[in-house]
């Protein structure tokens, strides 16, 4: 069965009141009863575009020398925030008809000069709060940055310090978080900058994306001990190189970007492979197969690692034409073994909430490490995962840089999303195997996957009894 949804609402980035909810049923208190899996799955899904690719390409298109076209971009809260912010800086972004299932394509026309005197709402989007300040520094005039209450807890000191090191005037309250404002001088000289990016790879990506437009380019050196999410930095480097920018990494933790034009481009945005995680993991819990259409043969997305990680939990992974298929066999619910694992997710922290939810259902102990920086994500994910899982009978201990899980028999109960899309989808995974899991804010999935609840229910419908399935449209 093919599951897709092209009728979703359009997303306004402004304010919780206007935030789109899901059309999936929720209880009177707004909680979402996570559906149980009824049997082996036979699902084939098409997912919306990658957040990381969409927001990088929006920024590069805004800084390019001619109009660009993004095909099948993500339409979600994070991309809407990026679009509104770039418009505030004078970039023209138009929706044009395309072939994507989840909304129009985007044509981006850069202005002759970026406009200052703007206020930017970052929402809870790390890509907006870390990628746009170096862009705004190229504008002439003041630009103010703020975001959700939860965004004011996310680390921003490295961005603020690096702007100052580049000679830009920044006004903040010294806490190293949003809100702050900067005064763009219309140009940035660039040169050599040292930063500590151990709290987020996005500090590196943000500087590299704007660096070709600095008069002298940029030599950026990471001085901290850890550098998380390297694949996301490699994605940035690849996106720059694809637009003709001279960029090199002569040494570990060092990047050199030459000054020069950023070429306009027509870009096909890949589906979001990190958002594929809960769906693929569902095959291991419920049994059967889940196929994701349009899985790229080569990609910089860290979600591709799922094809190597899920077999360690017992899945068989294969390609079927352009789809990636995960076969969970009988699945945990059908009696298949689900081993506990040692996982270092320092390169793929984005995958951690979903994999931790799976590990919580395993029959052996697990340790998931290398993810200290998750404490600065949408919420402190280490503490949120431990609290939610322990609240439903789990045996999870917080480590300095990860989580230790002991096997436990879980029971139903409330599951807090903490406004975090990946916490909400982690609750959905647990709910496949445990009666009575109630996710308080499934609408938080609008951050990167507004269609989550509908796609999840559609996936689970493929496990209906054969007689029930006969009436449904074949994929």
Ligand X SMILES: O=C(O)C1=C[C@@H](OP(=O)(O)O)[C@@H](O)[C@H](O)C1
Ligand Y SMILES: C=C(OP(=O)(O)O)C(=O)O
- The residue (of 26 and 354) whose beta carbon lies closer to ligand X is 354
CB of 421 to ligand Y, least distance (A): 7
Q: What is the DSSP letter of 151?
A: G
State yes or no: residue 126 binds ligand Y (CB under 6 A): yes
β-pair type (2-3, 105-109): unpaired
β-pair type (68-71, 437-439): unpaired
Q: List, as one string, the DSSP characters of 341-382.
A: -EEE-SS-GGGHHHHHHHHTTSSS-EEEES-GGGGGSSS-HH
CB of 126 to ligand Y, least distance (A): 2
State yes or no: residue 177 binds ligand Y (CB under 6 A): no
Residues 369-398, mask of contacts with ligand Y (x by CB under 6 A): --------xx--------------------
CB of 26 to ligand X, least distance (A): 26
* Neighbour-count burial of 29, counting CB atoms closer than 10 A to its CB (0-12 exposed, 13-18 middle, 19+ buried): exposed
| Residue recorded with tokens 């480097």 | 237
- The residue (of 201 and 366) whose beta carbon lies closer to ligand X is 201
Task: Mark whether 350 is an active-site residue.
Answer: yes
- The residue (of 19 and 421) whose beta carbon lies closer to ligand X is 421
Single out the segment in contact with ligand Y by CB under 6 A; choices: 122-130, 135-143, 241-249, 254-262: 122-130
Residue 77's binding partner out of ligand X, ligand Y, none, with CB under 5 to 8 Å set by partner kind: none
CB of 53 to ligand Y, least distance (A): 12
Distances (CA, A) of 340 to 38, 391, 437: 23, 20, 22
Among 22, 127, 301, 462, binds ligand Y (CB under 6 A): 127
CB of 366 to ligand X, least distance (A): 20
β-pair type (316-320, 323-327): antiparallel
Q: In what order do the strands lie in the sheet with 105-109?
A: 92-96, 105-109, 68-71, 266-268
Residue 289's binding partner out of ligand X, ligand Y, none, with CB under 5 to 8 Å set by partner kind: none
State yes or no: residue 350 binds ligand Y (CB under 6 A): yes
Q: What is the DSSP letter of 301?
A: -
SS3 of the chain: helix, strand, coil, percent, to 5 = 35, 25, 45
Residue 422's binding partner out of ligand X, ligand Y, none, with CB under 5 to 8 Å set by partner kind: ligand Y
The residue annotated as part of the active site, out of 270, 293, 350, 438, is 350
377 annotated among ligand-binding-site residues: yes
Residues known to be catalytic: 350
| Interaction site with ligand Y (CB under 6 A) | 125-127, 350, 377-378, 422, 448
């Amino acid at each position: 069965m093919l599951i897709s949804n092209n009728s979703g609402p359009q997303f306004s980035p402004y304010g919780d009141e206007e935030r789109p909810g899901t059309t999936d049923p929720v209880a009177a208190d707004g909680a979402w009863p996570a559906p149980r899996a009824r049997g082996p799955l036979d699902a084939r899904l098409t997912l919306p575009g990658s957040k990381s690719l969409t927001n990088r390409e929006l920024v590069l298109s805004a800084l390019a020398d001619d109009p660009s076209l993004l095909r099948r971009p993500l339409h979600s809260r994070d991309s809407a925030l990026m679009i509104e912010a770039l418009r505030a800086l004078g970039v023209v972004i138009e929706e044009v008809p395309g072939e994507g299932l989840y909304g129009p394509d985007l044509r981006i026309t850069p202005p002759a000069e970026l406009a200052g005197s703007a206020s930017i709402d970052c929402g809870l989007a790390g890509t907006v709060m870390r990628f746009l300040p170096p862009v705004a520094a190229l504008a002439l005039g003041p630009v103010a940055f703020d975001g959700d209450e939860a965004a004011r807890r996310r680390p921003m000191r490295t961005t603020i310090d690096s702007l100052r090191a580049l000679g830009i005037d920044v006004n903040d309250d010294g806490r190293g978080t949003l809100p702050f404002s900067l005064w763009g001088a219309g140009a940035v000289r660039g040169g050599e900058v040292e930063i500590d990016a151990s709290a987020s790879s996005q500090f590196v990506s943000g500087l590299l994306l704007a660096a070709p437009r600095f008069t002298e380019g940029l030599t950026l050196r990471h001085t901290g001990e850890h550098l998380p999410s390297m694949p996301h930095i490699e994605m940035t480097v690849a996106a720059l190189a694809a637009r003709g920018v001279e960029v090199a990494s002569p040494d570990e933790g060092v990047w050199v970007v030459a000054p020069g034009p950023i070429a306009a481009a027509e870009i096909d945005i890949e589906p979001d492979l990190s958002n594929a995680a809960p769906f693929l993991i569902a095959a291991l819990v419920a049994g059967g197969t889940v196929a994701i259409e349009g899985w790229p043969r080569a990609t910089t997305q860290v979600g591709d690692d799922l094809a190597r990680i899920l077999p360690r939990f017992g899945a068989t992974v294969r390609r079927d034409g352009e789809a990636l298929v995960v076969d969970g066999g009988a699945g945990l619910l059908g009696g298949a073994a689900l081993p506990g694992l040692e996982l270092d997710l320092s390169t793929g922290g984005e995958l951690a909430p979903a994999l931790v939810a799976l590990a919580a259902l395993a029959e052996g102990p697990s340790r998931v490490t290398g993810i200290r920086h998750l404490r600065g994500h949408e919420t402190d994910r280490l503490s949120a995962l431990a609290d939610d899982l322990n609240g439903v009978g789990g045996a999870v201990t917080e480590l300095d840089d990860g989580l230790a899980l002991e096997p436990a028999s879980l029971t139903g109960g409330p599951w807090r999303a903490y406004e975090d899309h990946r916490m909400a989808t982690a609750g959905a995974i647990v709910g496949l195997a445990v009666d009575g899991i109630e996710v308080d804010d499934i609408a938080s999935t609008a951050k990167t996957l507004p269609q989550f609840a509908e796609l999840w229910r559609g996936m689970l419908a493929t496990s209906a009894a054969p007689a029930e399935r006969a009436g449904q449209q074949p994929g």
